[in-house]
Amino acid sequence: MPTQSTNKRIAKNAAALYFRMIVTMLVGLYTSRVILQTLGVEDYGIYNVVGGFVSMFSLISGSLREAVSRFITYELGTGNKERLRAIFSTSCFVMAGLSVIIVIATETIGLWYLHNKMVLPEERLYAASWCFQLSVASFVLSLLSTAYTASIISHERMGIYAWISILDAVLKLLICYAVMVSPADKLISYAFLLFSVGVIDQIVYWAYCRRHFEECNISFVFDRALFKEMFSFAGWNFIGSSAAVLRTQGAALMLNYFGGPVVNAANGIATQITGVVSKFVSNFTQAFNPQITKQYAAGEYESLMRLLIYGSKYSYYLMFILALPVFFNARFILEIWLGVVPDYTVEFTRWTLVFLLAESISRPIITAKNANGNIRNYQIVVGGVLLLMLPVSYIGLRCGLPVTFVAFANALTAILAIFARMFMLRGDFPCWSSRVYFRKVVLNVSVVSAVSCILPAISYHYLPQTWVNLIVTTCLSLLSSGLCIFFIGCSAAERALIVGKAKEVLNRIRTRKL
């Protein structure tokens, strides 16, 4: 098992990220409602379509962000401070160059599209232009701070990362009131205030990093070989990111062609639900991802293999505990939330949950492969497997299968991608064993999942779809999944550790009461 200090660090970071997520999610739900009411549907739509157009460039910048984070984390693992400084400075210059390219592209192609192709009310074109310029400025600002935010995550300072995110959420809450009382154009005021919050966030990031991390001081060092290495990594990572976008957008277009907008609505609702569920697990994986890269860089391969096994297994179990009651109660939950549930929404939701469960297993393997840096063949093979869902879905729909076959094909290719990732990790470090990983992770979670479904399936089948069934099925899902994970999914050493931690917590509670 991972060392006790590693476990404590991961647990502490995960707790900070969970707290961040809960606060930002609650504030986000409230502010989106207030801003919609304040701006009105038309202006709210204008901001989203203009901002969404600018955010398309994040496909390019996202690949570079991952490259920067990977290289900084890797050098922290090796302990090479000189190379770490060179990476930080080179990253800043790379992002500055990318910012110039994006500004040129947006101020030429972007403005032409805004004024000639985008469908906007004539009287709101002036406000939309301001939104466009401020969105570009906000995007460039986030690019320039990439190396600083990557440093905070790589150093595993998740606490400060969480507090800055909470500061951002509180400031956006204040924006709601400021926009309501603003005598100026509310859409322009909203865009300007959001940009101002971005400026404050980045100042805090810069100040913290310059004070706490010695490498976060830009020196006029441009390592050409390092630049080439980073761009090569980002380029191949871009292919993987593009495959994910093609899969998502291709599926949406296919569903629209064969089923119409109602089917797109069903798929969109399913994506919203599963997005909320997946956020809980992403905080856990973000907490231990830096450890995977650092252990690979330090050559601690036995610890790395153990961390991959435990990370994959418990990422899945965290997702499974949340997904199982939603899977069985999907229809009733949707009826409570929506009132009228579009056709196919339940089926889309269930298959999307299966897809997310498969992806949760893969996340630690993805991080380990990125730590290795040799990702060309990996991105080609795994991206190809994931893109298989498009031709498979098209053939199935052409043969008369229901539109939910697209969601099934997406889940199936995600499962196949687990085996492709296992295969592509061979030879990357001495202790990797696909056979051991399959037995301790894939087979383990499969058995636990099958056994856990028995009790809630019986409840779902025999009880009517009412609040009683929702409560009973949810309780049975949590009980059966918890017991199966403890007695089947955990080894004897893991069970002993869990029992020991539980006793320790109980003793602390008793001591405080006394």
Res 211: pLDDT: 85
Q: What tokens were used for 83?
A: 């190379």
Q: How would residue 52 be classed by pLDDT, with cut points 50, 70 and 90?
A: low
Between these two residues, 450 and 469, which has the higher pLDDT value? Answer: 450
**Most confident by average pLDDT, 268-277, 335-344, 461-470:** 461-470
Between these two residues, 254 and 402, which has the higher pLDDT value? Answer: 402
Res 411: pLDDT: 92
Q: What is the spatial distance between Cα 37 and Cα 34, in angstroms, rounded to a whole number?
A: 5
Res 484: pLDDT: 93
Query: What's the pLDDT tens digit per position in 59-81?
Result: 566 666 677 777 887 877 777 78
Query: What's the pLDDT tens digit per position in 168-220?
Result: 888 888 888 888 888 888 888 888 888 898 888 888 888 888 888 887 777 77
Q: How would residue 56 be classed by pLDDT, with cut points 50, 70 and 90?
A: low
| Cβ proximity of 138 and 198 under 8 Å | yes
Q: How would residue 3 be classed by pLDDT, with cut points 50, 70 and 90?
A: low
Query: What's the pLDDT tens digit per position in 471-494?
Result: 999 999 999 999 999 999 888 888
Q: What share of the chain is helix, strand, coil (3-state, %, to 5)?
A: 85, 0, 15
Query: What's the pLDDT tens digit per position in 291-301?
Result: 888 888 888 88
Res 49: pLDDT: 64
Q: What is the spatial distance between Cα 350 and Cα 209, in angstroms, rounded to a whole number?
A: 43
The set of residues, in sequence order, having a beta carbon less than 8 Å from that of 102 and lying 6+ positions away, is 57, 60, 61, 136, 139, 140, 143
Q: How would residue 506 be classed by pLDDT, with cut points 50, 70 and 90?
A: confident
Identify the CA nearest to 312 among candidates 193, 139, 443, 426.
443
Instruction: Give me the mean pLDDT over the 364-376 stretch.
Output: 81
| Whole-number percent of the chain with pLDDT over 90 | 12
Query: What's the pLDDT tens digit per position in 281-331?
Result: 666 677 777 788 888 888 888 888 888 898 888 889 888 988 899 899 888
Does residue 9 surpass a pLDDT of 80? no
Q: What is the spatial distance between Cα 356 and Cα 359, in angstroms, rounded to a whole number?
A: 5
Question: Hey, what's the torsion of the CAs at 165, 167, 169, 173, to 10 degrees?
Answer: -170
Q: What is the spatial distance between Cα 417 and Cα 332, in angstroms, rounded to a whole number?
A: 32
The chain-wide mean pLDDT, for the chain, equals: 80
Instruction: Give me the mean pLDDT over the 10-35 stretch.
Output: 68
Classify residue 1 by its DSSP letter.
Answer: -
Q: What is the spatial distance between Cα 364 and Cα 315, in angstroms, rounded to a whole number?
A: 9
| Cβ proximity of 208 and 160 under 8 Å | yes
Region of poorest pLDDT, from 25-29, 60-64, 168-172, 417-421: 60-64
Query: What's the pLDDT tens digit per position in 118-174?
Result: 667 778 788 888 888 888 888 888 888 888 888 887 787 877 877 888 888 888 888
Alpha-carbon distances of 243 from 148, 382, 384, rounded to whole Å: 28, 9, 8
Does residue 395 surpass a pLDDT of 90? yes
